[in-house]
Structure 1
């Protein structure tokens, strides 16, 4: 005897409360993973912009610092009556001899337009520092040691500046 085909077929029926639940859970997990990916990309982009800003600020500061050191070198050569070389940052005519002119580095920076190279302002100020100049009570016994105020202003790049930096130093020979 042969068993009938009807009896050998088995039918599986899903429980009534679980129809399609795995699909919904998988879709929700995929949406959550996509959101995490988008958030991760936004955070990475923000960190890249922050790093770029830090780099631009650091480069502008280094350019201003380099201009200040070059000006100090040029001023020292001028004071020692040495040749400043080709294309010096500061010439003897650029050194302002008045120290009581109300110079404010912040105002100077606000009014200065940057070109292709850093801006430099040098002032000889030893007469305005107490103990460094004559008090008009006769001739000084010895000449005052030259003291200079050097202010520089530079940007990170000459073409498309995104960051600017100013340095104000006092330089004594």
Structure 2
């Protein structure tokens, strides 16, 4: 009798599990449950127009407005510095590396880029022409001040 009731309970549990919709879902994955493998979308060509973009949030590292695939960045060489090193940016017309990249963890100013800031793509990423996954209502301080000035009564 006990074996029959255990078998019945097991059969009912299996049937309920099979009929139940997947509980683990994530809005950014769409209808594919978390435990299933999703096929990632194909990446389009990276933005390659060299136009500086507005930042999406305060203190965001600038994005890379050109292709960087195939760039050698290792402990022996950094391709980014061919154009963005402060000594070469006047010739290349590229944005020079920020002075913050020349400061070590103790606040000492260095003659070369700090090892903490040497691997550019730890913080800076190339831009892909894709739809934003979440809405963003960030406004930089200049926009906020401009709106405040426009809405305040004129004296």
Higher strand share: 1
TM-score, length basis structure 1: 0.29
User: Which structure would you say has the larger Rg?
Assistant: 1
TM-score, length basis structure 2: 0.31
Higher helix share: 1
